[in-house]
Structure 1
Amino acid sequence: MNPESELDWEGCLNVRDLGGLGGIRLGALVRMEAPTRLTAAGWAAAWEYGVRTVIDLRNSDEISPDDSPRPAGINTVEVPQDPIGTPFHEYWTKIDNLSSPLYFPAMLTTHPEPLIAAVRTIARAEPGCIVFHCAGGKDRTGLLALVLLALAGATPEEIIADYLLTYERMEVRYAAMGAGDQLGKVERLLEQHDTNVQESLTATIASLTMPAFLLENGLAAADLALLLDRLTK
């Protein structure tokens, strides 16, 4: 990863700029875990970096107050990604609790609408850097990152490495929560389905034809043009 992509915002562990992957420019998109733990200094660093929009991919019942107030000029937009109340959500909650790349292809095929809504929000956001996050910044954040990186021409190797980096970054937090080795748990789950993280993500990436996937699932051509300008210029 480009050293300039490494961001140290006090209070959070999993903050990185996607610039340098594919054609994405630095300062366009930052992925992270929920910014709830950011300190005042952490929010100041985000503001100084140019962040003006935060896209929250969590469900409303997951959201808790921030430890420190967000700068008044940062706009927060909630775009929940889990299709709660659907047969899909009931089924995959039993399979992997929507916490592994195993559900990614089915989500893109069956319920692309939440992801398209997030992409549209990015395209239409006010000028400035955009942060997007879920709870740990791994799967909902990871799927959106995968789609954006695929659009921007990142290689499968780059996309997979970016996804796996979250496990490394969040290891200390998982340990403090008593959650143990999360990557090991996911690998064992995927092994039961005759795959692994790399193979599962590679299959998801290969299934995407860009930008056709976005356009065929409801993203307007004008929004696609805005998105590409935002990511690359």
Structure 2
Amino acid sequence: MTDRWIELDGLVNMRDLGGLPTRDGGTVATGRLIRSDNLQDLSDADVTRLVDELGVTDIVDLRTDTELHLEGPGPLRRVEALTHHHHSLIEEQRASESVGDVGRRALPWRDDDPVRDASFWASHYLRYLAKRPESVAAALEVVAGAEGAVVVHCAAGKDRTGTVVAMALDVAGVPHDEIVADYVLTAERLERIIGRLMPRESYGEALAKQKLEDQLPRAESIEAILAAVHEGWGGAAGWLLAHGWSPADVERLRTRLTR
């Protein structure tokens, strides 16, 4: 699957979901859904490639308002042809919070957290669905309705992005083992991802207190969310139906993602 990596100067964790198989013998279409870490450091050449070569028309930013404020607008904000969508998966900043607090919630890590194992991360992913269902549904609506490729990203491109992408792929009919394999692929770039985030005001303080292995994407984490969605709603399509989508909306997303 590593040939799906998109190599750019200003990021390390971008890949196209195109090429993944579906249960009915098809594949996910290339140039429809791209996952990524943050887009703050893109070069002019990166921007040109994304827009002119890869056909990106929409950006879905899953970070909080506070992260956007601290990080500032990235280079893609200057591109008038792009449409930007902000759908945070985490509660917004409380008045008493410091920058460090924001980083701990956004990633999301706290000094008093227990061992950060697979179940720890799974609980966070399930919380996104429980606490911010409107943001998850809205992000998927962008994918369903875009004219070109959609880039879905957060800070690292692992947790918030991984949750939305897993839901999209489940609707598309991608087998769970393939969804899991895509999620854990981020481990190949984890050290470089953390290296990008460490100097940043929003994340550096929290990251300095964590071990690299604590952030490792483990198969059991994403397996847990897929299992929970299937047990509760019969899959991501059923979850969307329970959160205001029509059958036609679900089919539009499925059709958009598949050949």
In structure 2, stretches of 5+ residues that fail to align are 95-104, 199-203
Go from structure 1 to structure 2 and tell me whether the alpha carbon gap of 1:40 and 1:123 turns closer, same or farther (over 3 Å shift): same
Match of 2:253 in 1: 227
Alignment of 1:43-192 (within 5 A): 43-47=47-51, 48-63=53-68, 64-66=72-74, 70-84=78-92, 95=113, 100-125=121-146, 127-175=147-195, 177=198, 179=207, 184-186=213-215
For residue 162 of structure 2, what is the amino acid of its counterpart? G
Q: Which residue is 2:239 aligned to?
A: 213
CA contact under 8 A between 2:5 and 2:15: conserved in structure 1?
Answer: yes
Q: Secondary structure at the match of 1:42?
A: helix
In the alignment, is the contact (CA less than 8 A) between 2:76 and 2:82 conserved in 1? no
Give the direction of change, closer, same or farther, for the CA distance of 1:107–1:76 in structure 2 (3 Å limit).
closer
Distance 1:66 1:165 in 2: 25
Residue 69 (structure 1) shift: 6.0
SS in structure 2 at match of 1:11: coil
> 2-side partners of 1:128 and 1:170: how far apart?
28
Q: Residues 170-196 of structure 1: CA distance to partner in whole angstroms, max 9, x if unpaired?
A: 412414627477551146xxxxxxxx9
* 1:118-172, Cα deviation, whole Å (9 max, x unpaired): 11222233x1111110111111101001111111222222222222222322412
* 1:190 counterpart residue number: none
Change (3 A) 1:232 1:68: closer
Alignment partners' CA distance in 2, 1:217 and 1:68: 31
Q: 1:67 Cα deviation (Å)?
A: 5.0
Q: CA deviation at 1:71?
A: 3.0
Tell me which moved more, 205-214 or 168-177. Answer: 168-177
- Compared with structure 1, are the counterparts of its residues 182 and 37 closer, same or farther at alpha carbon in structure 2 (3 Å cutoff)? farther
Contact 1:123 1:226 in 2 (8 A): yes
Gaps of 5+ in 1: 188-195
After superposition, the Cα gap between the structure-2 partners of 1:205 and 1:9, relative to the gap in structure 1 and judged at 3 Å, is same
Is the 1:44–1:71 Cα contact (8 Å) retained in structure 2?
no
SS in 2 for 1:26: coil
**Structure-2 change in CA distance of 1:69 and 1:55 (3 Å):** closer
Are 2:45 and 1:41 aligned? Answer: yes
Structure-2-length-normalised TM-score:
0.73
**TM-score with structure 1 setting the length:** 0.81
Q: Distance in 1 between matches of 2:130 and 2:13?
A: 28
Secondary structure at the counterpart of residue 55 of structure 1: strand
* Alignment of 1:197 onto 2:202: no
Contact 1:31 1:133 (C-alpha < 8 Å) held by counterparts: yes
1:56–1:80 contact (8 Å) kept in structure 2: yes
- Residue in 2 that maps onto 1:193: none
- Tell me the matched-pair count: 218
- Would the aligned equivalents of 2:89 and 2:132 in 1 still touch at CA under 8 Å? no
Q: Tell me the secondary structure at the aligned position of residue 35 of structure 1.
A: coil
Distance 1:11 1:175 in 2: 12
**Identity of counterpart residues, as a percentage?**
32
In the alignment, is the contact (CA less than 8 A) between 1:57 and 1:79 conserved in 2? yes
> What do you get for the CA RMSD once the two structures are aligned?
2.9
Q: Is the 8 A contact 2:57 2:82 kept in 1?
A: yes
Which digits, 9 at most, give the CA deviation of each residue in 1:81-120, with x for residues without a partner? Answer: 213479xx8xx866589x9333222432454222112112
